[in-house]
Structure 1
Amino acid sequence: MRISGYRTLTTIQEWGRPVGDANGLYADGVVPVPIVMVETDIGITGVGIGPHAEIESIFPALEGEDPRAVTALYDRMLRRAFKAGHAGVVFGTIGALDTALWDIKAKAAGEPLWRLLGGNDRKLPAYASGLDIGVDDDGLVALYEKYAAHGLRAAKLKGGLDVERDRRRLTLVRDVLTSAGGGARPSLMLDANEAWSRKQAVRYVAELERTLDLTWIEEPVRRWDAEGLAAVGRGVRAAVATGENLTGLEQFRPLLAAGAVDIVQTAAVWGVSHFLRVALLAHAHDLPVSPIGTTLVPLLHAATAVPNHMASELQDLHPPVGLSVDTSVEDGAFILGDEPGAGISIDEEAITAIIGRPGTRSADSPAVRPARAGLRLLAEAHGPHLNSSLMDLHHNR
């Protein structure tokens, strides 16, 4: 079997509401989802979710090769991009191709990827994550009631701009999950998406912790700030989670050496091989690992094969347009199926039908970091989507 070519597609995730974080919103709730499909000379096609950037320069590392040599081919792609693209969006292209190769290998073996990788238990703990900063209080309650109906008893909210608004929203979600769980205490997390300086982070989280118990605070300061992340960890009770935007083991090493991270995260877009290597590095430091992303399925398969998986992020309860996944959510967990490969099927006609109306990355989307992030003395108004006037970050301290 040999790799014979590739194709790229872009579909959309339709949330039906604004989604975003402290950096901005996709106001129409329509988010582009890029797809890579790797073809072989025996008709098996692998699916990877991730960018297409510079794919024409990366793909020659794979062309004509046996796709089952995934690990060797992953390193070959990294070597091909080591000067100009061993990070960021090109790393995402490598991850998408890598995931497609794992899909091919499992399909060729006639096994689900979780079994090929050595997993045993197809059930993985999940937590709810609605990218919900643009949702009002009533909408927030309704949203997390839907998650609770699937057995979710842990939730991560987006925040970081208004401490009292975050306190109120976390309390609302806590009450929803507590009621659904028969009084059992849920786990609550807050994701600031790098919105704060070090001292802002400590003051903000400490204020929330006067009345709430947070399991973790995610990306409180810049992703690479090992000293700052460690300072936040020392200053608050909550664990510090980070890693979704780090690419390559070399970016994780300084954080681990500084004791700067308690929950090691990795994003689905960076691929299966990256996740497996990060999970092993985290395990060597006795740290748990937690995958995140919208279409998380390939990393769920990989998570069954590592000893330190804690929980995986559940964002939308529905897959992107034109994708179906052999995965269900029951009793607060992802349940992986038996379909060979990673269990992602593509309906190209459905995707073609939506071409011309993909989401756009506007200037205030979460893809663009605000100029004053980490520098605000007073919180900046981000428009009516926050449903409240933003207040001084430190007004209660």
Structure 2
Amino acid sequence: MRITGYRTLTTVQEWGRPVGDANGVFTDGVTSVPIVVVETDEGISGVGIGSHVEIERIFPAIDGEDPRAVTALYDRMLRQAFKAGHTGPVFGTIGALDTALWDIKAQAAGEPLWRLLGGRDRRVPAYASGLDIALTDERLVAEYEVYATYGLRAAKLKGGLDIERDLRRLCLVRDVLTEAAHGLRPGLMLDVNEAWTRKQAVRHVGEIERTLDLIWIEEPVRRWDAEGLAVVSRGIRASVATGENLTGLEQFRPLIAAAAVDVVQTSAAWGVTHFLRVSVLAHANDLPVSPIGNTPVGLLHAATSVPNHLVSELQDLNPPVGTTIDLSVEGGCFVLGDSPGLGIRLDEAAIVAAARRPRPLTADGPLVRPERAGRHLLGEPDGGPVLGEPDGGPVLGKPDGGPAATRNEVSPTTAS
């Protein structure tokens, strides 16, 4: 079997509500989802959901190769980008190609990837994560009520702009999940997307911890600040979770050496091989791993085979437009199917029909770090970005607010 070519597509995730974090909000609730399809001479194609930036520079490393040599080809792609570097979106392109190769390898073997990688249990524990900073309190409650119907007992909220608002919203979600679980205490996490200084992080988490028990605070300070993350970890009870924006083992080593990370995260955008290698590094240091992303299907398959997987992020309960995935959500877990490979199927006509012009880039985001991030003396007077839609809009799931997650309907990276 030989790799013969690739093609790229871009579809969209239609959230039906504003989504975002401390660095900005997609007010129309539509985010782009890039896709790479790798083709072979035996008619098997693999799908990788992720960047295709500079793919014409990376693809020659695998062109004409046997796609089943996945890990060796991953290293070839890293070497291909050696001079200019492999960080940022280029690392996402390598990750998308890598995921597509794993898809091909498992299809060729006639097995789902989770089985090929040595997984025993197709169930992967999940937590709810709504990218919810722009929602009103009423809408926030409605969204997490839907998550709760799928048995989710842990939730991660977006925050970092107003600590009183963060605390109020965490309490609202706590109450929703507690009621759904008949009084059992839920798990709560807060993601501030690198919005704070070291001292702000310790002060603000300390304020929350006077009322609530947080499992983790995510990206409290800048991703590379090993000393600062360690200061935060020592100063609070909650764990520090970080790593989704780190691109390569070399970026994790200083954080682990400094005891700066308690929960090691990797983004779905960076691919399966990266996740497997980071998981081994974390396991050697007695640390758990947790995948991040809206469509982490490749990492979900891989998570079944690593001993230190903790929990995986579940964002939207609906798939990107034009995609179906052999995956469901039941009892608070992702449940992987038996389709060979990743179980992703594309309706390219639907993807083309959903094509939209690229969102014009602006200086104020979203996904652009605010000019005064980490330099606010007090919280934002209105709690941050424009806050949501009027009450009564559609909630997470189908347009009528009813259940959405059945087999072939679910896809759990957009703003993560």
Q: 1:384 aligns with which of 379, 383, 386?
A: 386
Q: What SS does the corresponding residue of 1:84 show, helix, strand or coil?
A: coil
Is 1:219 aligned with 2:222?
no
Please say if residues 31 and 358 of structure 1, whose CA atoms lie closer than 8 Å, have aligned partners that are also in contact.
no
One-letter identity of the residue aligned with 2:241: A
Please say if residues 198 and 232 of structure 1, whose CA atoms lie closer than 8 Å, have aligned partners that are also in contact.
yes
Which runs of no fewer than 5 residues in structure 1 stay unpaired?
388-397
- Which residue number in structure 1 is paired with residue 265 of structure 2? 265
Q: What SS does the corresponding residue of 1:173 show, helix, strand or coil?
A: helix
Is 1:77 aligned with 2:77?
yes
The alignment of Structure 1 onto Structure 2 pairs a total of residues equal to: 387
- Which residue number in structure 2 is paired with residue 180 of structure 1? 180
- Which residue number in structure 1 is paired with residue 236 of structure 2? 236
Q: What SS does the corresponding residue of 1:355 show, helix, strand or coil?
A: coil
Please say if residues 4 and 64 of structure 1, whose CA atoms lie closer than 8 Å, have aligned partners that are also in contact.
yes
**Deviations 1:165-213 (Å, cap 9, x if unpaired)?**
1111000000000000010000000000000000000000000111011
Q: What SS does the corresponding residue of 1:269 show, helix, strand or coil?
A: helix
In 2: Cα distance, 1:383 partner to 1:327 partner: 33
Please say if residues 10 and 35 of structure 2, whose CA atoms lie closer than 8 Å, have aligned partners that are also in contact.
yes
Q: What SS does the corresponding residue of 1:302 show, helix, strand or coil?
A: helix
Please say if residues 106 and 112 of structure 1, whose CA atoms lie closer than 8 Å, have aligned partners that are also in contact.
yes
In 2: Cα distance, 1:58 partner to 1:298 partner: 20
In 1: Cα distance, 2:87 partner to 2:386 partner: 35
Please say if residues 162 and 380 of structure 2, whose CA atoms lie closer than 8 Å, have aligned partners that are also in contact.
no
Please say if residues 132 and 140 of structure 2, whose CA atoms lie closer than 8 Å, have aligned partners that are also in contact.
yes
- Following superposition, the deviation at residue 153 of structure 1 comes to 0.3
Q: 1:111 to 1:191 in 2, by over 3 A?
A: same
Please say if residues 53 and 93 of structure 1, whose CA atoms lie closer than 8 Å, have aligned partners that are also in contact.
yes
- Which residue number in structure 2 is paired with residue 318 of structure 1? 318
Q: What SS does the corresponding residue of 1:385 show, helix, strand or coil?
A: coil
In 2: Cα distance, 1:343 partner to 1:364 partner: 38
In 1: Cα distance, 2:3 partner to 2:30 partner: 33
- Which residue number in structure 1 is paired with residue 136 of structure 2? 136
RMSD: 1.2
Q: 1:305 to 1:360 in 2, by over 3 A?
A: farther
Which runs of no fewer than 5 residues in structure 2 stay unpaired?
390-416
**Deviations 1:316-363 (Å, cap 9, x if unpaired)?**
000100111100000000000000001111110000001135655554
In 2: Cα distance, 1:136 partner to 1:357 partner: 29
In 2: Cα distance, 1:383 partner to 1:56 partner: 37
Q: Which moved more, 1:185-194 or 1:367-376?
A: 367-376
Is 1:88 aligned with 2:88?
yes
- Following superposition, the deviation at residue 300 of structure 1 comes to 0.2
**Deviations 1:28-77 (Å, cap 9, x if unpaired)?**
11000000000001110000011111100100001100000000000000
In 1: Cα distance, 2:201 partner to 2:93 partner: 33
Please say if residues 94 and 270 of structure 2, whose CA atoms lie closer than 8 Å, have aligned partners that are also in contact.
yes
- Which residue number in structure 2 is paired with residue 333 of structure 1? 333
**Deviations 1:60-99 (Å, cap 9, x if unpaired)?**
0011000000000000000010221321110000000000
Q: What SS does the corresponding residue of 1:220 show, helix, strand or coil?
A: coil
Please say if residues 244 and 266 of structure 1, whose CA atoms lie closer than 8 Å, have aligned partners that are also in contact.
yes
- Which residue number in structure 1 is paired with residue 413 of structure 2? none
In 2: Cα distance, 1:227 partner to 1:93 partner: 30
In 2: Cα distance, 1:322 partner to 1:22 partner: 30
One-letter identity of the residue aligned with 2:386: P
Q: What SS does the corresponding residue of 2:387 show, helix, strand or coil?
A: helix
| TM-score of the superposed pair, with normalisation by structure 2 | 0.91
Please say if residues 275 and 299 of structure 1, whose CA atoms lie closer than 8 Å, have aligned partners that are also in contact.
yes
Q: State how 1:323-362 maps to structure 2 within 5 Å.
A: 323-356=323-356, 361-362=361-362
- Which residue number in structure 1 is paired with residue 16 of structure 2? 16
In 1: Cα distance, 2:229 partner to 2:80 partner: 32
In 1: Cα distance, 2:362 partner to 2:128 partner: 26
Q: What SS does the corresponding residue of 1:179 show, helix, strand or coil?
A: helix
In 1: Cα distance, 2:215 partner to 2:115 partner: 31
Please say if residues 18 and 388 of structure 2, whose CA atoms lie closer than 8 Å, have aligned partners that are also in contact.
no
- Which residue number in structure 1 is paired with residue 249 of structure 2? 249
| TM-score of the superposed pair, with normalisation by structure 1 | 0.96
In 2: Cα distance, 1:99 partner to 1:123 partner: 20
Percent of paired sites with the same residue:
75
In 1: Cα distance, 2:324 partner to 2:357 partner: 20
Q: What SS does the corresponding residue of 1:165 show, helix, strand or coil?
A: helix
Q: What SS does the corresponding residue of 2:259 show, helix, strand or coil?
A: coil
Q: What SS does the corresponding residue of 1:33 show, helix, strand or coil?
A: strand
In 1: Cα distance, 2:385 partner to 2:147 partner: 27
Q: What SS does the corresponding residue of 2:46 show, helix, strand or coil?
A: strand
Is 1:296 aligned with 2:280?
no
In 1: Cα distance, 2:260 partner to 2:121 partner: 31
Please say if residues 30 and 359 of structure 1, whose CA atoms lie closer than 8 Å, have aligned partners that are also in contact.
no
**Deviations 1:198-238 (Å, cap 9, x if unpaired)?**
00000000001110110000000000100000000011110
Q: Which moved more, 1:366-375 or 1:65-74?
A: 366-375
- Which residue number in structure 2 is paired with residue 62 of structure 1? 62
In 2: Cα distance, 1:239 partner to 1:176 partner: 23
Q: What SS does the corresponding residue of 2:71 show, helix, strand or coil?
A: helix
